[in-house]
Structure 1
């Protein structure tokens, strides 16, 4: 009997099974290609999605790149020897770099591109080699009747990036030849027969378009320069790298840039969020010594550009260490966990957790060392050791970064960490008893980390979605779950002695602090109100008295009457004492209905200070002129007078302090006398429990519990007072510190509310911005389609001008948009002045305002975005138009003084107290104003490192009203 020898035959469809058939979803496919970039020693990798029909995707990296030979010998070889190819790996390590652990293990990760788009164009540049390109139509591999060797892939090389777009037609022809071969092609009969059989099969299924028809119709790829300009090798910023162009991307990617997709469509929202959630934290943010590897996802809609995933947007190790609850350490090969423990905001030292049984040690089952950390915070802000602002920020971050992620060699294993991928069944246990098991997957931050070298048995599933469910994987889950249950019960949950002993104290302290702050705030407001009410009239009388003294002094000087001068001097000293008494106390953060009274009092007090200073100067001049005594006698008497006045003031303060300290001393002595007796009064009745048959141990426990409770009470009562005394002893102004803290808290509360409003405004503007260009083009196109006689009519002209005016006004909102990329250009003062004058032409005329732009201003030149600078001047002039209405002389001027641009008006100017808040979001003094304009002016200018401020004492003032100073970086003029 003769044994027949044969071999396996490889069908083309094998590639489809290994690529598209093995990948779970788009984010997983993207992560596989990003890992290939990491293996190529890239410093950065990015995914770009471009709108269009069809949408185009691109993955760029700045790694080692590939030559034409690399494509033929490695990239187009499926199942390369990546696991054992040590010598080539070492040769690939860039000079001066440490070797990277290889992420790919089967040599098929590159086939993930098949999941992302039907056609892929790969461009690459290796050092000392020409550019190389490969184009693949993955739909060719769907035909089960084709052998793998029958499919030709287009491979090209070229020397310059300007040749790229010109190569597409020839590469497309190579792909089409796989479906429609030439007569002289040796594959002609095999290909024709295979596609005939497959077409017949697909038509029998009722498909309206067969695969071969789709390949022939869709092989023409419309690539543009914008699809390449972000590739570092194309831009010339890096010598090497690879670009994977994805033509007609998968819907999970195209929906990211599809403006027609409904934002309220639940499925669309899930797809968009899933991409962000899965690719966020691609590198391990908890590892301090990892090699930098930058990544991002960027969406392109027209010329607009928006990054939705960035390497910097993570919850990292520094933030983790601030959490009030955490464990951070690792398991050794015996399964013993050693790490740091933090509970209720306090470091509790090192802990060791020994598993109920060690993991197996067999080579194919062994689990190696694994790092693990997890942290969270109290759900109830009143029970948290975090300040409320920090607690709110942490709560917001759980939606973006919450979950326990898994990392191998510092790169994320998908999809662990996502809300639906709770590897350690944390939520399932929490549903049984939230308090005892404590941890909540969505409200926790953490990671599991290991290396391929130490944990070869923790392997990826074929679909790259998670780890293979083998014994090593199950042992890992058992170890972590056992640790979470144990530390939850011992340290964090409702059964924890630490929680039982400290949580109520934290709640009480937080409540006491909040009540104390509210009490202090109310007391400050009440004191301030009483002060204004009782001193409003005295301060006005003091101003009048100061004026009268100056008049008497002038008369005495005219009559050369030294006696009258001496009397005026004494009364002036008394008036100085009165000024000190009338000094404005700390102003509350919210004035409410006291604002008008406060501003009137503040102005009167400033007038009093100015009058006293002027009278003092005049008094010194009068004494100098009259010279009734020798100069040294006059000076000595003035010194003694000032010394006497200040000594009397200090003595008055001392007596008041002595009296209050005496009162406090008596109060605390009485409190201490009462506290001395508290324990006996509360504890002695418990001794009678012995006579009623209560066990001694129970009575002793009761006595100790009473003592412990009183100890807590005494600490809470005395220590805050002692801390206050310590701060007073160290010259700390408690009232001032409390006022600042309270003002900051009130400001933060306002900002939270303000940003909610701003978010709604931003969403509205984003919608307008997305649709504006499209709607404008549609309206103009249809208006131009109207008959010629209609276009000549006045009605058409007026309608077209009105539409143009509306569009121009809406484009003013461009800088407010959340996304967008626009090119920089040279902007002249001439164009700014003309634009502003044209924008406000009607208002300037109707409101009789004289608008001027000086020749110096018109000569300036600034390189920036027109849509960034023009709104700044529109906002400033718009504000000026409002305020000049209150004066008769109405002027607005744009000028250049030295190197400073000045936008000035002749209005009433800005109140001095308002200047520090002038650029704050939502701060306004305009009736029905929004307080957004000046804030956005500052933000717009800051983006390009320009600056704007209200004119200070050293700044030029072009007009008597408000003068805003702009310093442009890189400005030229003249």
Structure 2
């Protein structure tokens, strides 16, 4: 009798060979975890910078039922199990509702072979012993093996020690697969498997964070450990986190694994999915920013409804602000469809901000998410069907139709987010392909796709397309003109204002650029004269007073030629360089005047009292004259401006009057006019005046209202800039202030409770410490707990500057203490970015007598900023030295421009992409309150690394 026999390669063909890509493999295994009533479906990639890890390790886990030895032998190792296909019901567990099984072919588990060749599976049922087995999928590449020839050692364990012992035994047992004559033609593969098997090592952190869990009585679930991960996973090792957002392969993985459950329909799911990256800096979740239901439903356009069993759609559509009932009947024969009834919902965003109802922040968020997650997703029983929803999977050919006419075929695959809600029960004929890369293209799928294409074309035609002159206006067009006109008016007004402001700014810049060069030369000569006068044995007061007068004149002149770039005005790179050069020259002149003032202050000590009284009186009179002169200048400018306005209004009045006279010529009375003719002309004349009044109001009423509301203490340029930037900066500032205020209030409320909890936790940790000494196997976990607690404690102390000063006491803080504190706080960042952090001995001996909660956060802020700016450079160094009694904190990153040395301490000033501009402002304020000053400098005496350099000095009172 003939019988079938299966080669070992059949497992490869049914597993890895049937999986389209890495995300599909992960999804298949997560489906199995979901069917096992798991609450947490996780992927964890431990990179080689994490703890004692030497090479990347990938972990895929669920906390579902787990498996016994019998389950593994009778189900996991049996291909094509039919329990799900037969509809056998699994009783719910762990307090969860009954789930509809996702897997049905009995081979999805084999997709684990796609993740990497060398695998260790761990599994455990609650209350039972854990089981494990080791497998190298490359053994299946040997086409000489039959399935029954393979030796896959399975072992049970209940402690970490037992696990390590039995794993080593399993490695030796698995080696027997490599001693067969079947390897004669494939010796290279055999040698590679054998070498990798000998190198296989379970790192300490895996013992503590993974294996130890399986030794706990109540633990349950399944975990796959992959020791040589797929190439796409290894790509993470070559990227910094800063590059994650811009890498195509990572974005592909993110878009494929996001939205696994239909949160767009029902945000309240009973399981979580995470893809966590672990490195020296901690962990990072790759898939935590999918669309929310609100983001879909508040889009510019939205639709929700249902196709019934006959293919008829009934639902509701919203186009901008207007809603309508919408029905659709596809062009198909009467009767039930082969694909069955389903629900659909989507939201679409306008391609241009100028035609969107969303505010700037909302538009920015949704638009950014559309880049990664835009598309129409298909869910079956609330579980995502791949590849639908990926940006490159345009199964309804939206982009193909748009290429024929974007105005007519409105929809773009990447401009909207939506879902189709299917179920196995209602839509049994929409079946997956063998490789899980979409539906089989049977009759049900072809008609499903065809009717959906007609559906979207109909919506675009009726509601959203751009109509020709012969067509009726669509619902979108009836509103978009008003929306765009409003935006255009605001934009045009802002552009006109900007153009005028920019012109005035550039004229000032060109004029004052030459003047400041001349002024700087004059100040240098004045400085030389002051130095010469100071060197004399006897000061001539008249000469001194004359020089002092010149110095004051130079200060006034410098202030008068100060040029500031207006808010919201864009200038070219050449103009930006010109402005930077001007600011540098202004900064030089300003510093030279300060030097002159210091010389005067020193000289003043040698002048007698009588002459000093004369100087005081002269200054008093001079300052009064300066104030009067300033206001006289303002009054002159204001008068000239209003005269200009009056003249413009006179011209406009003449032009509008002449225009009205010209328009009304047709309505003059004649001798032949009858009574009804005159009445008609009166009506016509009234209509013309209404049009002219409306035009005049449109042109001037807003301007007159603006003039009427002007106040002396309001900077009109600033307000215009604020409006032009569409509230962005002020809204962000308000948000920052609210967060700071909320944080402050929260700290005040929880301070007492936290101190009580801290005391209790500290006592508990001390008790655990005693117990740990008697149980060495707990050392690692206790060390992690203590470190985490100390880190929380340090972060808690960072909040101290926000407490009332009555709660604080001064104490001695040494430079060595700060050095240790910084080194410990940033140890992961220093390791990750290979930063050399050092201090000199003088700083180690330095002592602050101040508030611990002010000094430490300042240093942390400065070091944190330094780390950010060091990332792009190769030689990364941070150093702290004590120089001339002052503390210099320097780094080898980007140098601060001379003209920005003071600006960086201003509130909300930032050079970081997503910075808030609060840190340095608070650092300066807090240091000032404690009797210290901080400034940035490029002076070579301090800035020895030629990057950013900050100096902290004690304020001499």
- Between the aligned partners of 2:903 and 2:509, the Cα distance in structure 1 is 21
Secondary structure, in 3 states, of the residue corresponding to 2:24? helix
Secondary structure, in 3 states, of the residue corresponding to 2:23? helix
- 1:133, distance to aligned residue in structure 2 (A): 0.8
RMSD: 7.4
What is the aligned partner in structure 2 of residue 489 from structure 1? Answer: 461
What is the aligned partner in structure 2 of residue 353 from structure 1? Answer: 326
What does 1:29-40 align with in structure 2 at a 5 Å threshold?
29-39=25-35, 40=37
- 1:271, distance to aligned residue in structure 2 (A): 7.9
Q: Are 1:434 and 2:400 matched, yes or no?
A: no
739 and 221 in structure 1: CA distance in 2 versus 1, 3 angstrom threshold: same
Secondary structure, in 3 states, of the residue corresponding to 1:416? coil
What is the aligned partner in structure 2 of residue 154 from structure 1? Answer: 153
What is the aligned partner in structure 2 of residue 521 from structure 1? Answer: 502
Q: Are 1:295 and 2:274 matched, yes or no?
A: yes
What is the aligned partner in structure 2 of residue 59 from structure 1? Answer: 60
- Between the aligned partners of 1:130 and 1:712, the Cα distance in structure 2 is 86
Task: Indicate which of 25, 38, 43 corresponds to 2:40.
Answer: 43
- Between the aligned partners of 2:334 and 2:941, the Cα distance in structure 1 is 83
Q: Contact (CA 8 Å) 2:42, 2:60: kept in 1 or not?
A: yes
Q: Are 1:24 and 2:11 matched, yes or no?
A: no
What is the aligned partner in structure 2 of residue 856 from structure 1? Answer: 845
Q: Contact (CA 8 Å) 2:888, 2:949: kept in 1 or not?
A: yes
- Between the aligned partners of 2:875 and 2:831, the Cα distance in structure 1 is 25
- 1:358, distance to aligned residue in structure 2 (A): 9.9
305 and 57 in structure 1: CA distance in 2 versus 1, 3 angstrom threshold: farther
What is the aligned partner in structure 1 of residue 225 from structure 2? Answer: 245
Which of 367-376 and 170-179 deviates more? 170-179
- Between the aligned partners of 1:8 and 1:230, the Cα distance in structure 2 is 45
Task: Indicate which of 404, 408, 432 corresponds to 2:376.
Answer: 404
What is the aligned partner in structure 1 of residue 121 from structure 2? Answer: 122
Which of 73-82 and 230-239 deviates more? 230-239
What is the aligned partner in structure 1 of residue 110 from structure 2? Answer: 111
315 and 668 in structure 1: CA distance in 2 versus 1, 3 angstrom threshold: farther
726 and 42 in structure 1: CA distance in 2 versus 1, 3 angstrom threshold: farther
What is the aligned partner in structure 1 of residue 340 from structure 2? Answer: 367
651 and 919 in structure 1: CA distance in 2 versus 1, 3 angstrom threshold: closer
114 and 955 in structure 1: CA distance in 2 versus 1, 3 angstrom threshold: closer
What is the aligned partner in structure 1 of residue 287 from structure 2? Answer: 311
Secondary structure, in 3 states, of the residue corresponding to 2:845? helix
- Between the aligned partners of 2:409 and 2:876, the Cα distance in structure 1 is 58
Task: Indicate which of 198, 201, 218 corresponds to 1:224.
Answer: 201
- 1:71, distance to aligned residue in structure 2 (A): 3.2
Which of 226-235 and 349-358 deviates more? 226-235
- Between the aligned partners of 2:513 and 2:248, the Cα distance in structure 1 is 58
What is the aligned partner in structure 1 of residue 306 from structure 2? Answer: 331
- Between the aligned partners of 1:8 and 1:722, the Cα distance in structure 2 is 98
- Between the aligned partners of 2:527 and 2:884, the Cα distance in structure 1 is 39
Deviation by residue 1:49-90 (Cα, 9 ceiling, x = unmatched): 989999975423455544445535654455253477786431
505 and 645 in structure 1: CA distance in 2 versus 1, 3 angstrom threshold: closer
- 1:428, distance to aligned residue in structure 2 (A): 3.3
What is the aligned partner in structure 2 of residue 593 from structure 1? Answer: 578
- 1:221, distance to aligned residue in structure 2 (A): 6.3
What does 1:679-718 align with in structure 2 at a 5 Å threshold?
none
Task: Indicate which of 914, 918, 932 corresponds to 2:901.
Answer: 914
Secondary structure, in 3 states, of the residue corresponding to 2:267? coil
What does 1:414-813 align with in structure 2 at a 5 Å threshold?
414-418=386-390, 420-442=392-414, 444-450=416-422, 458-469=430-441, 473-474=445-446, 476-495=448-467, 497=474, 498-499=476-477, 502=480, 505=485, 513-514=494-495, 517-530=498-511, 591-593=576-578, 595-601=580-586, 655=639, 659=643, 662-663=646-647, 665-666=649-650, 669=653, 673=657, 721=703, 728=710, 733-739=715-721
Q: Are 1:341 and 2:318 matched, yes or no?
A: yes
Q: Contact (CA 8 Å) 1:41, 1:100: kept in 2 or not?
A: no
- Between the aligned partners of 1:20 and 1:113, the Cα distance in structure 2 is 8
What is the aligned partner in structure 1 of residue 803 from structure 2? Answer: none
Return 5+ residue gaps in structure 1 as ranges: 1-5, 182-195, 260-268, 549-557, 629-635, 685-705, 748-820, 835-850, 882-891, 924-933, 969-974
364 and 8 in structure 1: CA distance in 2 versus 1, 3 angstrom threshold: farther
Deviation by residue 1:506-547 (Cα, 9 ceiling, x = unmatched): 896557755653443233222444456679889999999999
- 1:424, distance to aligned residue in structure 2 (A): 1.2
What is the aligned partner in structure 2 of residue 805 from structure 1? Answer: none
- 1:311, distance to aligned residue in structure 2 (A): 0.5
- 1:426, distance to aligned residue in structure 2 (A): 1.8
Q: Contact (CA 8 Å) 1:297, 1:310: kept in 2 or not?
A: yes
Q: Contact (CA 8 Å) 2:935, 2:950: kept in 1 or not?
A: no
Secondary structure, in 3 states, of the residue corresponding to 1:89? coil
What is the aligned partner in structure 1 of residue 72 from structure 2? Answer: 71
- Between the aligned partners of 1:329 and 1:282, the Cα distance in structure 2 is 21
Q: Contact (CA 8 Å) 2:7, 2:145: kept in 1 or not?
A: yes
Deviation by residue 1:372-419 (Cα, 9 ceiling, x = unmatched): 3153543x8998899999999988876644433323355431112345
Task: Indicate which of 203, 209, 214 corresponds to 2:186.
Answer: 209
- 1:422, distance to aligned residue in structure 2 (A): 1.8
Q: Contact (CA 8 Å) 2:138, 2:193: kept in 1 or not?
A: no
Secondary structure, in 3 states, of the residue corresponding to 1:367? coil
Deviation by residue 1:30-60 (Cα, 9 ceiling, x = unmatched): 2201222344424341164989999975423
- Between the aligned partners of 2:178 and 2:23, the Cα distance in structure 1 is 31
904 and 20 in structure 1: CA distance in 2 versus 1, 3 angstrom threshold: closer
What is the aligned partner in structure 1 of residue 83 from structure 2? Answer: 81
707 and 406 in structure 1: CA distance in 2 versus 1, 3 angstrom threshold: farther
Which of 421-430 and 602-611 deviates more? 602-611
- Between the aligned partners of 2:905 and 2:626, the Cα distance in structure 1 is 40
872 and 364 in structure 1: CA distance in 2 versus 1, 3 angstrom threshold: closer
726 and 83 in structure 1: CA distance in 2 versus 1, 3 angstrom threshold: farther
- Between the aligned partners of 1:135 and 1:529, the Cα distance in structure 2 is 76
Q: Contact (CA 8 Å) 2:555, 2:593: kept in 1 or not?
A: no
- Between the aligned partners of 1:867 and 1:576, the Cα distance in structure 2 is 38
- Between the aligned partners of 1:152 and 1:87, the Cα distance in structure 2 is 33
- Between the aligned partners of 1:80 and 1:897, the Cα distance in structure 2 is 81
Return 5+ residue gaps in structure 2 as ranges: 239-246, 468-472, 530-538, 614-619, 668-687, 730-826, 849-854, 953-957
What does 1:9-20 align with in structure 2 at a 5 Å threshold?
18-20=14-16
Which of 870-879 and 156-165 deviates more? 870-879
Secondary structure, in 3 states, of the residue corresponding to 1:208? coil
- Between the aligned partners of 1:904 and 1:179, the Cα distance in structure 2 is 56
58 and 833 in structure 1: CA distance in 2 versus 1, 3 angstrom threshold: closer
